[in-house]
Structure formats: structure tokens, C-alpha cells
Amino acid sequence: MREPREIEDREDELAVARVAAVDVAKASAVVCTRVPREGGPGRFVTRVWPVGATTNEIIELAAHLAGQRVEKVVLESTSDYWRPFFYLMEAAGLHVELVNARDVKNAPGRPKTDRLDAVWLAKLAGWGMLRPSFVPPAEIRQLRDYTRLRTDLTRERTRHWQRLEKLLEDALIKVTAVASRIDTMSVRDMVEALIAGQRDPRKLADLARGRMKAKRAALIEALTGRFDAHHGELAAILLAQIDGLTAQIGALGARIEELIAAIPGAQGVDADGTTGPQAGRGPDAAALPAIDRLQEIPGISRHAAQVIIAEIGLDMTRFPTAGRLVSWAMPPHHPVRRQRAARQDRQGQPLPQGRPGRRGRSRRQDHHLPRPAIPAAGQAPRQAQGPGRGRPHPARHHLAPAGRPRRTIRRPRRRLLPQHHRH
């Protein structure tokens, strides 16, 4: 006989006696506490009451839960409304867990209200049936705010470059057809010269730098357009917006470097064991900083390494397997595309698309519908329209095109009904 294997429960699966659940909303929340009843084993006291979502009320709630010796507080991830409850209760020293709303399902047959949802959430938390979501520590959350804002500003700057390119197309300036990118220094000098009032395409082409000088003839043709004063005003506004966003992105990048250097887990270690913001950069360093370690992976730049640290943190024990980490880091707005290769016959020719049925015919999803009517005279059947529709059907096939009959159809004679059939 095979010996039974012992499986230990995870820490989040352990039953907890004193729990609290908060069903959050935008301006208020419903709190439910579930604590053991004195003198009755297996009995619990459940209390439910509403609270506001302001800072002072949440701080009072955290103090009350700490006085009740609550061991775990569970929040349902509803939009961004859970953040003030999580941050303030965590700062008060409570053990707070964020759970996915998809995992918290109401029991069948029970009415769904805010109070009953809070009670059900507290029961599930006490039984250890909820899996907590990953919430990084405060320093990683702060770093994430900076990196995400930098990403948003970078996308906004890209949109301004696209607007500038559209404006040049409206002025019949085809410089982006010659230059590889619109944000190059050569194109920037040409646009600024256009804004300043220069309209001579030859003088504008002379502003090319580097390898763009070899395309002078193409630049002269591309810079010949109808760029007037109103194009110049709009282009100046767009360039000012781009320069402002570039300065803000640079400031965010410097701030992100400072924040990562201040995190102890991201700092390097020197050969003598000392650590700090500047440690781990020498040739005999015992451990490189986290940014430099990530940059050793091919394809990861310094910018990408900063985003990785901000999104997944530095504590990899929160992810039991590599698959859990990939599932967390994968963005949900990029669906995975799976394309099945086309099937081929023995001669290597592609087979028609569709799953073959019992008799080699492609299965249809509309077998419950009646068969299509016979095509009109002179109209080809559906199978014969276009390539890959199959061979034409014989003349007497039910899908063959209808033609003029070879002989006249005999009409039945009108007969009177028998005497016993008349009414």
C-alpha cells in the first residue's frame, strides 16, 4: 500500500477566530466583526454596522478593531475604494488582506445586500477560504506611482508627436516619409525653421544631420508644401507641450533612481559586506544592485528594470512558482493570440477550413435551421461562388441552379369534390 502524503495548509488557509470584513464603497462601507461568544464553544457573535470612508472614521474603526483583538481584516477589491481602508488599517498595525471580488461569491438562494455581503465575507475569512491578493509594501507602491506616471506622460508625449505629424501632412510637408522618425534632431530643426518663417525647401534641407544629408534631393521634394502662419502657431504649441513633457519625464526618471537606491533590498553589497546606496558597484562587489542584476538579462534595459521592480517588488517569496509571477506580471489588456496552422493533405495541399464531420463534410453551426431555398435561375449556388467552394453540382442536385424546364408542366384539372365531401 502506498503511504499517505501529508499536505500542510498554507498560512492564508488557517481558520481564524477573530475576523473583520469590510464591504467598501465610494463614500461609505459596511463592517462586520465575527468573534467567539463567551461560554459557548463553537458560537460566534456577529455585529454589522455602517461607517464612512473618510480618514478620521477609518482611523476610529481601526482603533476599535484593534481593541476587539481582531486577528485579520478582509477587504473586497472594489475599484480603488479599498486603498484608504487598507493603508490606514495597515498603518494602525492590523493584519489586512485584500481579496478578489470574483472569489467572494454569495451563497445560492441568499438575498444580496451590503450587510449580508459583509457577513458572508467575514465567515469566509474565518474559515480560511479566501486567498489574499498581492499588495506590495509602501516603498514599492510609492515607486509604482512614479513609474506609472512616467509611462502615462510618455504616451501623452507620443500622442503630441503624432498630432505634429498630422499637422505637417495637412501643410503638405512629407518630411516623415524621408526621415525614419519625427522626433529626430534633423526634423526638429526643420520644424523650428518652418515656425520661424523659413519656406525655402533647399535651406530647410541643409539643416539635415548625419545620414540625413545623403537624402537632400528627397528632402527638398518632401519640404515643398504650403506651410502657412497658422500651421506655425499650432506647431509651436505642440513643440512646447512636448518639451514640457520631456522635462517632466526626465525629473521622474531621476526621482525613480533615488527611490530605488533608498530601498534596502535593492542595494548592492561590497566585498567587505557593507551595503548602501552606492554599494555593490565595484569590480570585487559581493552582490550587484537589483537594477544592475536585472540588466544582465538580455533585452532588459534600465528603464524596463525599474518598471519590473515597481510592479512585482523585491520579495519573490510572495509568488510560490514562476507561473504565478508570470500570471501577475502579464498585462490583462493584451490577449494571447493562438493561431492554428492550416491542415494539409498527403500531397501538401491546404485543406478547406472547418472541422470535418462523419462524411468528410465541414460541420455547420446552423443544422437547426431549414435548408436554403433553391437558387434562382442563372444564379450560381453558394458552393460555386468564388474559389474553394467545391465542384459544381449536377443538374438534378437540390443546390444546382434552377433552369427552364425542358417540357411544360402539366397543370392538374379542376375537379369538383364528391358529394360526401361537400359541406
Q: What is the pLDDT of residues 319-371, one digit of tens each?
A: 888 888 887 776 555 455 555 555 666 666 666 655 544 444 445 555 555 55
Kindly state whether residues 253 and 292 are assigned to the same domain.
no
The answer to whether residue 36 sits within a structural domain is yes
pLDDT higher at 9 or 154: 154
Residue 250 has a pLDDT of: 95
The answer to whether residue 325 sits within a structural domain is no
Kindly state whether residues 192 and 98 are assigned to the same domain.
no
Return d(Cα 156, Cα 242) in angstroms, integer: 9
Kindly state whether residues 253 and 303 are assigned to the same domain.
no
Domain final residue pick, 227, 259, 291? 259
Q: pTM score, two decimals? A: 0.67
Return d(Cα 221, Cα 174) in angstroms, integer: 8
Q: Given pLDDT bands bounded at 50, 70 and 90, which one contains residue 376? A: low
Kindly state whether residues 26 and 114 are assigned to the same domain.
yes
Domain final residue pick, 242, 259, 276? 259
Domain final residue pick, 127, 154, 182? 127
The answer to whether residue 408 sits within a structural domain is no
Kindly state whether residues 228 and 276 are assigned to the same domain.
no
Q: Given pLDDT bands bounded at 50, 70 and 90, which one contains residue 411? A: low
Kindly state whether residues 234 and 162 are assigned to the same domain.
yes
Kindly state whether residues 39 and 123 are assigned to the same domain.
yes
Domain residues for 96?
12-127
Kindly state whether residues 176 and 246 are assigned to the same domain.
yes
Output the nine-digit C-alpha cell for 239: 513643440
Kindly state whether residues 119 and 152 are assigned to the same domain.
no
Region 306-318 average pLDDT: 88
Q: Is the CB of residue 32 less than 8 Å from the CB of residue 75?
A: no
Kindly state whether residues 185 and 93 are assigned to the same domain.
no
Kindly state whether residues 248 and 272 are assigned to the same domain.
no
Q: Of 38-42, 46-50, 78-82, which has the strongest mean pLDDT?
A: 46-50
Least confident of 126-135, 162-171, 200-209: 126-135
The answer to whether residue 418 sits within a structural domain is no
The answer to whether residue 120 sits within a structural domain is yes
pLDDT higher at 86 or 349: 86
Number of domains the chain is built from:
3
Burial of residue 110 (CB within 10 Å: 0-12, 13-18, 19+) is exposed
Region 254-279 average pLDDT: 85
The answer to whether residue 397 sits within a structural domain is no
pLDDT beyond 70 at 232: yes
Kindly state whether residues 280 and 310 are assigned to the same domain.
yes
In the chain, % of residues over pLDDT 90? 27
pLDDT beyond 70 at 85: yes
The answer to whether residue 387 sits within a structural domain is no
Q: Given pLDDT bands bounded at 50, 70 and 90, which one contains residue 107? A: low
CATH assignment of the domain containing 32:
3.30.420.10
Q: Given pLDDT bands bounded at 50, 70 and 90, which one contains residue 9? A: low
pLDDT beyond 90 at 410: no
Least confident of 4-8, 338-342, 391-395: 338-342
To the nearest 10°, report the CA torsion of 365, 369, 375, 381.
Answer: 10
Q: 177-180 long-range CB contacts below 8 Å, 24 or more apart?
A: 177/222, 178/212, 178/215, 178/218, 178/219, 178/222, 179/212
The answer to whether residue 223 sits within a structural domain is yes
The whole-chain average pLDDT of the chain stands at: 80
